[in-house]
Amino acid sequence: MRIALDRCGGMEHLRLPKERVGVAIGPVGEVKREIERRTKTKITLDSETGEAVIKPGEDPLGVLQARDVLNAIARGFSAERAFRLFEEGNYLEIIDITDFAGRSERAIARLKGRVIGKGGKARRIIEETTGANVSVYGKNIALVGAPEQLAVAREAVGMLLGGSPHSAVYRFLERKRRELKKKEIEIWKR
């Protein structure tokens, strides 16, 4: 999967995988309309080529926000999970599996399986423990969350891609969860 970005006169050009265009449009166009409404942009999506053009409205930052939401959808997130990027302080992060596996399709498939885990267990534990959303799609792993959530999720995913045993990753996640909980308690005590 290749997502091409091209900036031209304040507009953003983005190419989505053809199979993800329907998700970006949504039933009777409701997802596209909601992105346009929240970002005050105008989006044109071509279902044949996957080409998306985002035209700015009143707020030029809306183009960037619309781009991030469409990029999250292109990376396998549902519209609902991608809409989390509308909340202040949430970001999209993309990890390229080929950085760990090279170009071998077999190695990529194996590493995707490690991150997903048996029955989706590893992915679910990462999400539940960190609060970040995780999508494994194509040759990428995408994360959506707040910076501290992303940091822990990125580390856990990196450990799995690097070959660490699942049990070691789960212990790491549990330790980080306890540390975050302890910080929260200290903040509330102040």
The fold of the 91-189 domain, in CATH, is Ribosomal Protein S8; Chain: A, domain 1 (3.30.1370)
Residue 119 DSSP class: G
Is the pLDDT at 33 greater than 80? The verdict is: yes
SS3 of the chain: helix, strand, coil, percent, to 5: 60, 20, 25
Residue 43's CB is within 10 A of a number of other CB atoms, namely 23
Per the CATH hierarchy, to which homologous superfamily does domain 5-86 belong?
K Homology domain, type 1 (3.30.1370.10)
Residue 42's CB is within 10 A of a number of other CB atoms, namely 15
The Cα 169–Cα 19 span in angstroms is: 32
Summarised one tens digit per residue, pLDDT across range 152-166 is 999 999 999 999 999
pLDDT attached to residue 183: 79
- Lowest mean pLDDT of 4-8, 102-106, 131-135, name the range: 4-8
Mean pLDDT on 169-185:
89
Average pLDDT, the chain: 92
pLDDT level of residue 5 (50, 70, 90 thresholds): very low
pLDDT attached to residue 188: 78
Q: Is the pTM of this model over 0.95?
A: no
Q: Give CA 153 to chain center in angstroms.
A: 11
pLDDT level of residue 13 (50, 70, 90 thresholds): very high
Domain positions in the chain: 5-86, 91-189
Of 54, 57, 61, nearest in space to 15 by CA: 54
Whole-angstrom CA distances from 180 to 77, 92, 113, 184 are 26, 21, 28, 6
Residue 108's CB is within 10 A of a number of other CB atoms, namely 18
